[in-house]
Amino acid sequence: MTLLRMLLLVALGAVLPATTAAADDNSYGAVGVDPHNASVVFITEKASRNQAMDAVQALCQEHNMTCEVTKPFHDGCASLARSTDGSTYGLGFEATPASSQTTALDECTKEGGTGCNIHDTYCSPANLGE
């Protein structure tokens, strides 16, 4: 998971149109990673797993990215940690912000990153952990 540069894009449910009928739940999110240009996108506040995955792919395409790695999450949080030189990253998916950050830091270190720190954390629903 070595990165030459990192671009982080975030889209909330209101930014991209839903592809299916929305429910009141809005507790799905997804993360997309383009290994070719080292970009990461986060989507939150979607009503279904499919909506979150579709929104990630749409955002990737909008920014000329090929997100080969995508992962949905539900009623939880996704965190991104990266090394101080930006060459290594780790993603964490857990039930709380703190636990997703711990996992992301562990993954970054496991991949050989030094001085790994949290870059971003997003939860879906957004108020999770408050």
pTM over 0.85: no
Expressed as residue numbers, the domain containing 32 is 7-124
Those residues of the chain that have pLDDT short of 50 are 1-23
Residue 11 is predicted with a pLDDT of: 39
CA Rg, the chain, in Å? 14
Q: What is d(CA 8, CA 120) in angstroms, rounded to the nearest whole number?
A: 9
Residue 68 is predicted with a pLDDT of: 84
Contact by Cβ (8 Å): 52, 27: no
Residue 46 is predicted with a pLDDT of: 95
In a domain? residue 72 = yes
User: What tens digit of pLDDT does each residue of 78-88 get?
Assistant: 999 999 998 88
In a domain? residue 99 = yes
Residue 70 is predicted with a pLDDT of: 86
Q: What is d(CA 20, CA 129) in angstroms, rounded to the nearest whole number?
A: 27
In a domain? residue 2 = no
Residue 24 is predicted with a pLDDT of: 55
Give the number of domains in the chain. 1
